[in-house]
Amino acid sequence: MKSYVLFGAGANAANAVRIIGKDKVAFIVDNDKSKMGTDISEIPVYYFPEKEKDCASYQIVITTSEKFYYEISMQLEECGIHSYISLNYIQMQKTKEKIQNRFNCIEVYEHAIEWIKNHSIDGHAIMCTSERRKEYPEVTGYYIPTLLRWGYRVLALNYAEWLLQVQKKDGSWYDMDDRAPYIFDTAQILKGLIAARELYKNTDTIDDAIQRGIDWILSCMTAEGQLVTPDKECWGNDESMCSELIHLYCLSPLIEAGKLYHKEEYSEKAQLILNYYKENYLDKILNFSLLSHFYSYVIEALVDLGEEDLARSAMKQMETYQKKSGAISAYYNVDWTCSTGMFQMAVIWYKLGDFEHGEKTFQYACRLQNETGGWYGSYLSEDNEKEMNNYFPLEEISWANKYFLDALYYRNCLSFQLEADCFIETIAKEDERYCIIRERVSKAGSSAKILDVGCGKGRYIKNLLEEVPDCTYFGVDISTRVMDVLKGYSVECREGTLTHIPYEDKTFAVTYTCEALEHAVDFESAIREMVRVTQSGGYIIVIDKNDENYGMLEIGEWEHWPNENRLKELMEQYCRTVEVRHGLQYDEVKESDLFTAWIGKVK
């Protein structure tokens, strides 16, 4: 049934037809008589005065830009037509229906990753938005650490290589339109390049680029510590949206490079810059003063720079803007939300150890995801449907996916830190899960390097140290607190995850993971990483619950169990052979098919 009429035959009309459905739109009207007789998506366009009476029988959707929305709403009121809404409201209603339905968290991740792949231009740079399909150097830069955390090393390397090619002779990087250099953009790119160093055997070229970039940033610093960017056109003219205070988010690469290249002046100047902005912008720092996206840059920077007390004070204020649903206003004086700003706020809360506030906002923002896997820049609030959100309301922004992934990562970090006391420290030597690991390790040879990924408190490693002492043992876990138990044992521990194992290629004879893959979110990235750090002819072993046994135990929203055949097929892409063993006896439970072992010999 056709129940809608669109008012406005401009650029938004076609988008409205797609969102509402062609079969539900009767016709389109416009105040421009010259458009009469045309059509949009095969829907006829009429001159409004000639269709005014017919419009009264339909729900009017105003599809003009924000600039003309209120003017047209007044025109409709004067004509006695009171049933009208904005296109943004239609989108809000669709989002509301989605929130009310059953929610699959793992699909949010999978769709977000696909969006990134689909919006990487020739695989070398992320585009700006779904509509502005141009390489965005700044965002491409700060995507790199995120991609590495989730196991997308090839894409991260491609991004880094492209950024090295587009660096200017003076060491700076320009905006998306290659028009002018920006301190902020350059700093975000430096974050990416510093992270990408792990991908290079010879770092001479990337090291030179990093140092030239930092030197250029510092050349823009005044004696007082202010960073004066040569151009601000991309920021707009609204100081309540964005200000130079975001330069605080530029300081962590200076400090990191100072340590990396033993240049104390980098760190000293970063401290001078930090002091300048603290002294001159304290009120803006402590009070929600910018678009939440840009304000989050400021507060996350404070956390990363060790200014946690100041960050906590600011976030205490932000708690008052968090609604019961978890939504956070885009500005202090509106109800509509900024998608990426909410993910960034979640990151900050997680970094500060506040799981409750972080989780509410993270879960709310996840549920706004579009079917494409992306997020619009902003969404209307159910509390004020007559507002007009103006931050990319109908464009999916690439940086939202980056901060979704960051929020998920820091959520997982905090979750495991908080649950550290619950981790089991021992496993019986008769437990078949342990026996499978011991069997393979004992055949690895003297002095073989063995890696336990997701090692927890080292209950497998501690047994192996007793029974196969000639091997050298390594442990990786997302929680440093959990690994504290292994201090004093002959094992090297590093912070990491299954999707980002902090070791070089082909290091280990055996790499195993026990009851950790279920928490990795991305099985393919996890297997790819395990294979990467394992020698050819070596073994990767996964021991975990299988999805045939869903219902036996409660599982978290972001936990899922592998399917036997799909995991075997995945491992076969990288392994010569894959053996599967079922029904492993565990914790004195003998009659159960809960646990399965997948044992692969690496090609």
Model pLDDT for residues 492-534, shown as the tens digit of each residue: 999 999 999 999 999 999 999 999 999 999 999 999 999 999 9
Q: How far apart are CA 469 and CA 466, in angstroms?
A: 6
Contact 579, 536 (CB under 8 A): no
Beta-strand relationship, 378-379 and 337-338: antiparallel
Residue 41 is given by DSSP the state: T
**Cβ contacts of residue 473 below 8 Å, gap of 6+?**
450, 451, 452, 461, 464, 465, 490, 491, 492
CB 446 within 8 A of CB 437: no
For residue 422, pLDDT beyond 80: yes
The answer to whether residue 102 scores a pLDDT higher than 90 is no
pLDDT at residue 235 in the model: 67
* pTM of structure: 0.86
SS3 label, residue 568: helix
Q: Which residue type is seen at 488?
A: G
**Could you give the count of Cα atoms lying within 13 Å of 92 in the half-sphere of its Cβ?**
21
Per-residue burial over 450-477, b if 16 or more Cβ lie within 10 Å, else e, is bbbbbbbbbbbbbbbbeebeebbbbbbb
Please tell me the predicted confidence (pLDDT) of residue 438.
98
* Predicted confidence band of residue 94 (pLDDT cuts 50, 70, 90): confident
Whose tokens are 């040569």? That residue is 230
The mean of the pLDDT values for the chain is 94
pLDDT interval class at 555 (50, 70, 90): confident
Residue 587's pLDDT band, with cuts at 50, 70 and 90, is confident
Mean pLDDT to the nearest integer, 572-589: 91
Q: Helix, strand, or coil here: 386? A: coil
Selection from 19-23, 45-49, 90-94 with the highest mean pLDDT: 45-49
Token pair of 585, please?
């006896």
Residues 6+ apart with CB under 8 A from 597: 433, 436, 541, 542, 543, 579, 580, 581, 584
Residue 402 to residues 183, 343, 372, 458: CA-CA distances in angstroms?
Answer: 20, 9, 15, 32
Tokens 């050298």 sit on residue: 472
pLDDT value for 98: 64
HSE, CB side, 13 Å, CA atoms: give it for residue 251.
33
Strand partners, 125: 121
Round to whole Å and give the CA distance between 496 and 459.
Answer: 18
Rounded average pLDDT over 421-435: 94
Q: What is the percentage of the chain residues whose pLDDT exceeds 70?
A: 98
Residue 101 has pLDDT above 80, yes or no: no
**Encoded tokens for 391:** 């931050």
3-state DSSP assignment of residue 341: helix
- Report the candidate in 405, 402, 384 with the shortest Cα–Cα distance to residue 331: 384
**Which stretch of 241-255, 523-537, 563-577, 580-594 has the lowest confidence by average pLDDT?**
580-594
Q: What is the mean pLDDT of residues 196-213?
A: 98
Tens-digit pLDDT profile for residues 366-395: 999 999 999 999 999 888 878 899 999 999
What size, in residues, is the chain? 603
Can you give the pLDDT at residue 99? Answer: 47
Among residues 585, 584, 580, 539, which one has the least CA distance to residue 442? 539
Q: Is it the case that residue 200 has pLDDT exceeding 60? A: yes
pLDDT, average across residues 44-53:
94
Q: What is the 3-state secondary structure (H, E, C) of 110-157?
A: HHHHHHHHHCEECCCEEECECCCCCECHHHHHHHHHHHHHCCCHHHHH
Q: Answer yes or no: is pLDDT of 445 > 70.
A: yes
pLDDT at 420: 87
DSSP state letters, 75-99: HHHHTT---EEEHHHHHHHHHHHHH
SS3 258: helix
Rounded distance between C-alpha atoms, residue 478 and residue 419, angstroms: 12
Burial classification of residue 344, based on how many CB atoms lie within 10 Å of its CB (0-12 exposed, 13-18 middle, 19 or more buried): buried
Q: Are the C-beta atoms of residues 384 and 343 closer than 8 Å to each other?
A: no
> What is the Cα–Cα distance from 14 to 471, expressed in whole angstroms?
65
Residue 174 contacts residue 185 (beta carbons within 8 Å): yes
Q: Which domains does the chain have, with CATH numbers?
A: 4-97 (3.40.50.720), 105-123+306-418 (no CATH), 136-280 (1.50.10.20), 421-602 (3.40.50.150)
Amino acid symbol at 367: R
First to last CA, the chain: 59
Which H, E and C letters describe 504-525, residue by residue? CCCCEEEEEEECCHHHCCCHHH
Dihedral pair phi/psi, residue 146, rounded to 5°: -65, -45
> For residue 399, what pLDDT band results from cuts at 50, 70 and 90?
very high
Flag whether pLDDT at 125 surpasses 50.
yes
Closest CA to 497 of 485, 515, 479: 479
Q: Tell me the H-state helices in 367-488.
A: 398-418, 432-442, 459-467, 480-483
pLDDT exceeds 90 at position 232:
no
CB 47 within 8 A of CB 24: no
